[in-house]
Amino acid sequence: MFVLNEDQQALTAAVREFCQSVLGSTAREDDEREQFRKEYIQAMGEQGFCGIPTAETFGGLGRGYFDYVLVLEEIAKVSASYAVSVAVTGLPQVILSQFGNEAQKQHWMPGLASGALLGAFALSEPDSGSDAASLRTTAVRSGDHYVLNGNKYWCTHGGYADLYVVMARTGGPGPRGVSAFLVPGDSVGLSAGKKEEKMGLRASPTTELVLENVRIPAENLLGNEGTGFNVAMAALDSGRITIGAVAVGLAQASLDVAAKYATLRKQFSTAIIDFQGVGFLLADMACRVDSARLMVHRAAWLRDHGHSYSKEAAMAKLVATDAAMAVTTDAVQVLGGYGYTRDYPVERYMRDAKVMQIVEGTNQVQRLVISRQLKSAYA
């Protein structure tokens, strides 16, 4: 957990080289133009980056979640947008691995792992965010099909994805009425609605997803009717670890830029890192980055080794994303006026970091998850 083995070092080096040469060449342009390049996901898939934890049987590398967070951190150091895209296209693989039947796995997972197919996850709705169990999208059985109607919000890869995992209501109110479905991206009646104009992650497309009488085969149901909320919560546990890893990458990239700048920048004939006001700030930033990384690594390790990790995933997501927001903001401060301009990437890092405190459950929700588990443990 503290020292990477040779395989892990080789993996992170390969990811770093690819991201710097490919993603780095257009990172600023993609942010400014809000441009998503699907071919980048395909290229990363060809390198194996999109199927790190997916079993080799289904086209992945089978290396576990610990190695997965190492990869996501390296991608996020260059582009948080594409790190999130890799994490999101990985989420259907995680869901299929745990809840899919053999036919569903064989049909979808190899394409997702290779980057040939792009995945997405559709849970949130206009009036259903933190209260996910109140979703209103419906799925009605019609012979050997289901017919889906509703609107999903905040869908990463909306309009681009080849596969959406959609949560819809098949029963009464509350979590027991929710089911999970595999919805192909080319389904008739499925379309992308309004594209969100975002503060950050501007190279990662986020849209409304509109379902109008979308007919899908009954075999596209994941598990059984009424188990969809469990699917969603399990997916969020895993997703919180990946968002934590992206946050760590953002924070590390910001620290790297700020520390280098403070070492080279001189005022009063002295490197500004030698002034306590700056040097101590950088020291605190370094502590936040390492603390966040250790918590993310612990959650991933627990997941890989079959231990309970729901509380630890929430803790890792909370600590890492709060750290990313603090570190990216402090990096802008270290660079002063330059940090506020687009001459340096720290202003983009700061914009990208904010949403990390919101997605996969807000950090207020994470505190709720943690406190409830503490209550259960000490009752």
pLDDT per position as a tens digit, 103-118: 999 999 999 999 999 9
- Note whether 284 and 319 are same-domain residues: yes
DSSP state of 275: S
- Note whether 237 and 328 are same-domain residues: yes
- Note whether 372 and 238 are same-domain residues: yes
Spatial contact of 324 and 250, defined as CB atoms under 8 Å apart? yes
Per the document, the length of the chain is: 379
Spatial contact of 165 and 121, defined as CB atoms under 8 Å apart? yes
- 169-174-180 Cα angle (round to 5): 35
CATH number at residue 252: 1.20.140.10
- Note whether 372 and 258 are same-domain residues: yes
The answer for residues whose C-beta is within 8 angstroms of residue 313's C-beta and 6 or more apart is: 237, 238, 240, 241, 244, 299, 303
Spatial contact of 72 and 249, defined as CB atoms under 8 Å apart? yes
Tokens of 352: 């990208």
Q: Which residue is catalytic, options 73, 125, 208, 360?
A: 360
DSSP state of 189: T
Spatial contact of 8 and 2, defined as CB atoms under 8 Å apart? no
Question: What average pLDDT does the segment 151-163 reach?
Answer: 97
The reply to whether 360 belongs to the active site is: yes
Pairing of strands 190-195, 221-222: unpaired
- Note whether 322 and 254 are same-domain residues: yes
CB environment 108-146: b (16+ within 10 A), e (fewer): bbbbbbbbebbbbbbbbbeebbeebbebebebeeeeebb
Quick one: what percent of the chain has pLDDT higher than 70? 100
Spatial contact of 145 and 217, defined as CB atoms under 8 Å apart? yes
C-alpha closest to that of 195 among 35, 42, 362: 35
Q: How far is it, in rounded angstroms, from Cα 226 to Cα 249?
A: 37
- Note whether 83 and 126 are same-domain residues: no
Question: What average pLDDT does the segment 76-85 reach?
Answer: 98
Structural domains counted in the chain: 3
Q: How far is it, in rounded angstroms, from Cα 171 to Cα 201?
A: 35
Question: What average pLDDT does the segment 83-98 reach?
Answer: 97
Q: Which of 74, 97, 117 is the last residue of a domain?
A: 117
Spatial contact of 232 and 130, defined as CB atoms under 8 Å apart? no
On the 0-12 / 13-18 / 19+ scale of CB atoms within 10 A, 104 is middle
| Global pTM exceeds 0.85 | yes
For residue 163, pLDDT over 90 is answered with: yes
For residue 1, pLDDT over 90 is answered with: no
Q: Which of 117, 149, 167 is the last residue of a domain?
A: 117
- Note whether 353 and 272 are same-domain residues: yes
Structural domain span for residue 355: 230-378
Predicted confidence at residue 131, as pLDDT, reads 82
The 10s digit of each residue's pLDDT in 267-326 is 999 999 999 999 999 999 999 999 999 999 999 999 999 999 999 999 999 999 999 999
The 10s digit of each residue's pLDDT in 181-202 is 999 999 999 999 999 999 999 9
Spatial contact of 300 and 307, defined as CB atoms under 8 Å apart? no
AA identity, residue 127: D
Angle, helices 228-264 vs 276-304, to 10°: value is: 150
For residue 2, pLDDT over 80 is answered with: no
The 10s digit of each residue's pLDDT in 197-210 is 999 999 999 999 99
Q: Which of 226, 241, 265 is the last residue of a domain?
A: 226
Q: How far is it, in rounded angstroms, from Cα 202 to Cα 118?
A: 18
Residue 1 lies in a domain: no
pLDDT category, 223, cuts 50, 70, 90?
A: very high
Predicted confidence at residue 379, as pLDDT, reads 86
The answer for residues whose C-beta is within 8 angstroms of residue 224's C-beta and 6 or more apart is: 179
Predicted confidence at residue 127, as pLDDT, reads 86
Tokens of 155: 């869908």
- Note whether 175 and 201 are same-domain residues: yes
The answer for residues whose C-beta is within 8 angstroms of residue 310's C-beta and 6 or more apart is: 237, 369, 373
Q: How far is it, in rounded angstroms, from Cα 263 to Cα 270?
A: 9
Question: What average pLDDT does the segment 357-376 reach?
Answer: 95
What average pLDDT is seen over the chain?
96
Q: What residues pair up with 190 in beta bridges, in sequence order? A: 211
- Note whether 234 and 372 are same-domain residues: yes
Quick one: what percent of the chain has pLDDT higher than 90? 96
C-alpha closest to that of 78 among 26, 32, 43, 119: 26
On the 0-12 / 13-18 / 19+ scale of CB atoms within 10 A, 3 is exposed
Can you tell me whether residue 120 is helix, strand or coil? strand
Q: How far is it, in rounded angstroms, from Cα 112 to Cα 244?
A: 22
